[in-house]
Amino acid sequence: MNYTEYILSNIFLHFFYYIFYLIPVNKRKITFASPRNTVLDGNIKYIYRALYKKRKDLKYVFLFEQYSYSFVGKIFYLLRLVRDVYHLATSRVLIVDNAYFPVHIIKHKKKTTVIQVWHAAGALKKFGNDAVNEGESVEDKFRHKNYDYCIMGSDFSKEHYATAFGMDEDKILVLGSARTDLFFDEEILSRVKREFYEKYPKLKDKKIILYAPTFRGRGSDAETELHLNMKKMEEEFKDLGYVLLYKPHLSAKSEETEDSKFLINLDKEDILNKIMPVCDIFITDYSSAIIEYSVLRKPLILYVYDLDEYNDNPGFYQDFKKEVIGKRAYKTDQVIDIIKEGNFDFSEYDKFIDTHFKYKDGKSSERIADYILDNFIKI
């Protein structure tokens, strides 16, 4: 978004908001908004389910508006946001899981409560206002404003979420990370594994390597590349019963790769948290998925070929080399050697888990739902 687009869209959406402002807030309406998903997923999915289980009588609205970088796409995106502005003006509670344009540019009514539940399980790499951006961006004028509360999972992360979102710490509620509930429930884990093998029956007898790198860059320039030498890995593991599942980041364009006997590109519908319980080895880099995966206490490889660069920008909330679990690798050969050696150390997992999880009971969704109902929906 350039400065002209920002000014025009700001005026356009405020015009409609002032009209919708005249409509009373619906005390029974809870709206969920996500600019990163096209379907109900992540924290908002688990929070909605917990709320619906307790209060089926409430009105639930879902807004999924992925941003488009084409001219025509931007126009249609802006038009769809008119509907979103209506719900911002008339909802008792609005829950978002990422930066969300209407929330940031419009100062909502006092009778509406906006809650940020973010899409990560904790604070690992810096984000929001804590991330250093090269040059001035128009998004810096409005990003992460107008939240009333933020919900997250640990006391360690509390101060970091406060600075990342420009909020007072007393507005950061440590109630748990809803999307991690499945990792503490053996029944759900068993169901997740069963559903995976129903979809991929040929993988039942395979040793599964899951590779899910985070994105680099920003906006339309964000992209994910494999970086791993797939040809070499396939040669090394072809007779050892391994397959590699590749899951690009939701926010990134993916390098075009073709499936082979060794490499399988996962569908967009394949949710990362539901693949991690199935895999034997997880390869990632700086993704917050490390936090969720740690609960499973399974082998982890951090393929951090650009660690020095990433440490400078955006940077980390922990000492990545000393405090983050997992075996580090900087080249494909090292990844191969680590897998073949199989000498993984889990001694630091408990400390890492305790840092990032205040609650390990699998009831964060329920706890969040109770807080919302007790404090904001009093009918």
Please report, for residues 87, 217, 273, 326, the alpha-carbon distance to residue 65 in angstroms, rounded to integers and kept in the order given: 13, 21, 22, 35
- Render 252-272 in DSSP notation, one character per residue: SEEPP----SSEEEPPTTS-H
SS3 152: strand
Task: Give the integer Cα–Cα distance in Å for 105 and 13.
Answer: 9
Residue 337's CATH number: 3.40.50.12580
Domain count along the chain: 2
Exposure string of 133-143, with b = 16+ CB inside 10 Å and e = fewer, is: eeeeeebeebb
Q: Which domain holds residue 7?
A: 3-181+362-375
The enclosing domain of 31 has a CATH number of 3.40.50.11820
The answer to whether the CB of 298 falls within 8 A of the CB of 280 is: yes
Same domain, 151 and 235: no
Residue 314, pLDDT above cutoff 80 = yes
Q: What is the pLDDT of residue 253?
A: 52
Query: Are 60 and 154 contained in the same domain?
Result: yes
Q: How confident is the model at residue 157 (pLDDT cuts 50, 70, 90)?
A: very high
**Whether residue 136 is found in the same domain as residue 283:** no
Do 297 and 330 belong together in one domain? yes
Say what the pLDDT of residue 141 is.
67
User: Running DSSP on this structure, what letter comes out for residue 376?
Assistant: T
CA 55 to chain centre: 26
Do 253 and 370 lie in one domain? The reply is no
**Residues recorded for the chain:** 379
pLDDT band at 348 (very low <50, low <70, confident <90, very high): very high
CA–CA distance from 284 to each of 120, 212, 246, 262, 373 (Å)? 15, 5, 10, 18, 37
Name the E strands within the chain: 26-34, 59-64, 91-96, 113-116, 149-152, 172-174, 207-211, 223-224, 242-246, 253-254, 263-265, 281-284, 300-303, 327-329
Q: Is the pLDDT of residue 204 over 70?
A: yes
Q: What is the pLDDT of residue 354?
A: 97
Judge if 366 and 352 occupy the same domain: no
String of b and e for 155-186 (b: at least 16 CB within 10 Å)?
ebbbebbbebbebeeeebbbbbbbbbbbbbee
**Is the pLDDT confidence value at 252 over 60?**
no
Q: Which of 29-38, 132-141, 198-207 has the highest mean pLDDT?
A: 198-207
Closest CA to 212 of 274, 283, 260: 283
User: What is the structure's pLDDT at 135?
Assistant: 57
